Structure 1
């Protein structure tokens, strides 16, 4: 297996990633145009323009929305297919590595790790392959296109919107690092659970150990939830501050005659267009960091299976002793 996660992504098909990236470019370009059409519809209505003109603009808006929706449908199906190909490859790789050999018999530890990889670990890693390049390209493209459009319409209002997103650049990486540490510990605990199930040991000590591992998983998951949803709360708060800035500054500009109502409506829609890709970009970053941890553990397990002795790596960290740093 390639050493890095993105090495694995390209192993699964460079040409597919190029095609997906091209669809992403088409999608973010198609998603920006409706903002300008929407602004023109509002201004045409408030300026008492002929209804035929408004109807043509509405039809153009519907056409752009249809193009955006169909492109997104095709992109999602394509990304899903690429991701499933990667999942299938990982599962078959784990199965091939566990084939019995006279030189390297498979023990319960190896079978437990193999079971964990096939059932739980392969899917999120393989699924990330489909979105690894197209997702940041798509969402960053939308942010740049919509942000540039907003700057063109009203630079000061665009600056007010941009300011509220700056704190997220600081707290998101810190909170994600804390999540990653817990995810790595969680995978280790899951492998010990699988190992114990394969061994079929039913002593009181073994059952107590499994119970302790289940409690450990509960504690880790709750810790991840707390950090994740606190992060979401802080991001949503920043977004609402952006809306407040648009309402306050936009209303002042309309009252003083420095802008038109259509521009304020376009900014409100534009912030919605920015909020979603910004959130998706943060989600992609979180998935990237977590998937890098998971991929490294799968890669190390596979490397250990190919080493002399032929057994999957046995993490020495115990289920109850792993730290929740």
Structure 2
């Protein structure tokens, strides 16, 4: 048996495992779809998932085993963003997780009831039917199912409303605390050169960090649970159509994160340029007379900011357009292959309509998860830039103080020992004595 014959046998076995046996009588255009949906796309998805998992494990192992030293820990701030968020909102995070999990069965009802309405209330001749021991006709049964669907929609809306309002409360509460921590650290810094740079930090750079505090655990659980619930519903209707929903996912997992890393690098450059511009404007404000040559560095900063932001816009809109195009390819498989299954009697029309409606909701949580990844990376950059800003300030102050107090006749090696004593280098991690705001 040749390798090609073994491959075709494998495809037939996989298709039979999904409950679909196709033969030579099946139209020729169906065969490539079966190969793509049941063999090629799952193999690529497993490969990409394994690669991402291994890379994540290696990165985590390297991060834990690479010593990183800070001059002094910032009071009230942990070494990582997750630790800081969980320290000040642990109970609120647990409550939001519970509310998010309650939304999953309600979501499944909103997907199942439209199928029941089409198949059992509209496209059925078995009336009257017994409901709770009473016989009802077709119109009453239709109104009953529509009432249950309306109730499920209301419950789903109330759940999302309550969760979003509580998320806003958690975000604003954490933002206020985080601003106080940063402000207190700035007030305790004797270096007055950082006065101008604290304005964009407190006004702009901490804002996304506060908003992300409410989504750090809730959003991946809510959107990931929504994604799994919709995917489970699709597989219940038809395993082949459920597998078709994952066809373009490997391409999204490969391309979108790489493009997003370029956006993150540009965001880091933009933050540095804004700080540099603030430093230049502060120096000009402290001059009694306006220096005409001061327009040159400010104009260069304006041009650099415009250049960086144009690159960010181009990449962001390209990512959005690519994601929309890949998401729109899956309904093509549903209409073509799913329509053929309806004609052949494999699935009902109501099931196909329900799968199409579910996939419309399927792309939304997938986009939210990609946006979460983008926001996570951007927020980590901001958090790292803020902590690095204060650490550099602390180190510069320590160096200046050591230069003012050390004797003039000591050697350079001894001066280095005085500037950087071994006891002042601490391993990065949560401080043992944090002062709460």
Normalised to the residue count of structure 1, the TM-score between the two structures is 0.90
**Deviation for aligned residue 1:90:** 2.4
**Deviation for aligned residue 1:124:** 0.6
1:182: which partner in 2? 266
User: How far apart are the structure 2 equivalents of 1:79 and 1:303?
Assistant: 31
Task: Structure 1: give runs of 5+ residues left out of the alignment.
Answer: 312-325
**Deviation for aligned residue 1:236:** 0.8
User: How far apart are the structure 2 equivalents of 1:116 and 1:150?
Assistant: 47
User: Cα 1:264–1:257, aligned 2, differ >3 Å: closer, same or farther?
Assistant: same
Contact 1:28 1:141 in 2 (8 A): yes
Secondary structure in structure 2 of the residue aligned to 1:47: coil
Tell me whether 1:260 sits opposite 2:348 in the alignment: yes
RMSD: 1.7
**Deviation for aligned residue 1:97:** 2.2
Q: Which moved more, 1:178-187 or 1:298-307?
A: 298-307
**Deviation for aligned residue 1:249:** 1.0
| Divergent runs of 4+, >4 A | 305-308
Contact 2:89 2:174 in 1 (8 A): no
Match of 2:116 among 40, 44, 48: 40
Match of 1:166 among 241, 247, 250: 250
User: How far apart are the structure 1 equivalents of 2:200 and 2:230?
Assistant: 43
User: How far apart are the structure 2 equivalents of 1:136 and 1:144?
Assistant: 11
2:192: which partner in 1? 106
**Deviation for aligned residue 1:308:** 6.2
Q: Deviations over 1:24-45 (max 9, x none)?
A: 1112332222110011011121
Q: Deviations over 1:33-58 (max 9, x none)?
A: 21100110111211145111111111
2:60: which partner in 1? none
User: How far apart are the structure 2 equivalents of 1:23 and 1:302?
Assistant: 37
What does 1:75-86 align with in structure 2 at a 5 Å threshold?
75-86=163-174
**Deviation for aligned residue 1:302:** 2.9
2:282: which partner in 1? 198
User: Cα 1:36–1:100, aligned 2, differ >3 Å: closer, same or farther?
Assistant: closer
Contact 1:28 1:139 in 2 (8 A): no
The structure having more radius of gyration, on CA atoms, is 2
**Deviation for aligned residue 1:307:** 4.6
Secondary structure in structure 2 of the residue aligned to 1:163: coil
**Deviation for aligned residue 1:310:** 7.4
Contact 2:234 2:355 in 1 (8 A): yes
Contact 1:106 1:310 in 2 (8 A): no
Q: How many residue pairs end up in the alignment? A: 307
Name the one with the larger helix percent: 1
Task: Structure 2: give runs of 5+ residues left out of the alignment.
Answer: 1-76, 128-137, 400-437
Tell me whether 1:297 sits opposite 2:381 in the alignment: no
User: How far apart are the structure 2 equivalents of 1:98 and 1:157?
Assistant: 57
1:323: which partner in 2? none
Q: Deviations over 1:152-172 (max 9, x none)?
A: 110011111211222101001
Tell me whether 1:148 sits opposite 2:236 in the alignment: no
2:13: which partner in 1? none
User: Cα 1:120–1:252, aligned 2, differ >3 Å: closer, same or farther?
Assistant: same
Q: Deviations over 1:112-154 (max 9, x none)?
A: 2211111110101111001111001111101111101111110
2:370: which partner in 1? 282
User: How far apart are the structure 2 equivalents of 1:100 and 1:136?
Assistant: 37
Contact 1:35 1:270 in 2 (8 A): yes
**Deviation for aligned residue 1:205:** 3.2
Contact 1:21 1:137 in 2 (8 A): yes
What does 1:205-224 align with in structure 2 at a 5 Å threshold?
205-224=293-312
User: How far apart are the structure 2 equivalents of 1:89 and 1:77?
Assistant: 19
User: How far apart are the structure 2 equivalents of 1:140 and 1:165?
Assistant: 14
Secondary structure in structure 2 of the residue aligned to 1:139: helix
Contact 1:91 1:117 in 2 (8 A): no
User: How far apart are the structure 1 equivalents of 2:223 and 2:82?
Assistant: 19
Q: Deviations over 1:99-120 (max 9, x none)?
A: 277xx2412xx11221111111
1:26: which partner in 2? 102
User: How far apart are the structure 2 equivalents of 1:260 and 1:105?
Assistant: 73
